[in-house]
Structure 1
Amino acid sequence: MKQVKIHSEYIKLDQFLKLSDCVPTGGMAKALLQENLVKVNGEPEDRRGRKLYPGDRIEVEGEGSFEVAAE
């Protein structure tokens, strides 16, 4: 599992997908979420604006598992 450090209290899911290099653009993040290829804490997630906090775990099909970490 890869840790992705954030500098704020939370990060939105679409921003996280770009920060973790899963997708290069927000449009691609939207498409990934619409295809139900992302899980947050084990549950399928399709909301781009979902707030992620340190300790949240994200699984992206074909990319791996990630954990949000505070800096």
Structure 2
Amino acid sequence: MQTFSLKGEYIQMIQLLKVMNWVEHGAMAQFVVEEGLVKYNGEVDYRKRLKVKKDDVVEFDGQQVKII
């Protein structure tokens, strides 16, 4: 599992996917979230602008990241 150090209070889901280099661009990030390919704390979540915060875990395409 990878980790991501949060600089502020939160990061939006689509921004996190881009920062982790799991997707090539914003449109792709929106698509994978809309299609239910991303899990947030173990559950599929369709919110593109979801505020991911400290201690959350995001999963996509066999990869996981814990926000620290």
SS in 1 for 2:5: strand
For the aligned residue pairs, the C-alpha RMSD in angstroms reads 1.0
How far apart, in 2, do the equivalents of 1:33 and 1:56 lie?
16
1:66 aligns to 2:55 (yes or no): no
How far apart, in 2, do the equivalents of 1:17 and 1:6 lie?
14
> 1:11 aligns to what?
11
Percent identity of equivalent pairs: 34
Deviations 1:27-46 (A, max 9, x none): 00011112211000011011
Structure 1: tracts of 5 or more residues without a match: none
Contact 2:34/2:48 (CA < 8 Å) preserved in 1?
A: no
Structure 2: tracts of 5 or more residues without a match: none
Aligned-residue offset at 1:24: 2.0
> 2:54 aligns to what?
54
Give the TM-score, by structure 1 length: 0.89
> 1:20 aligns to what?
20
Give the TM-score, by structure 2 length: 0.92
Residue identity matched to 1:8: G
Q: How many residues align?
A: 68
Deviations 1:27-70 (A, max 9, x none): 000111122110000110111100010100011024x111111x
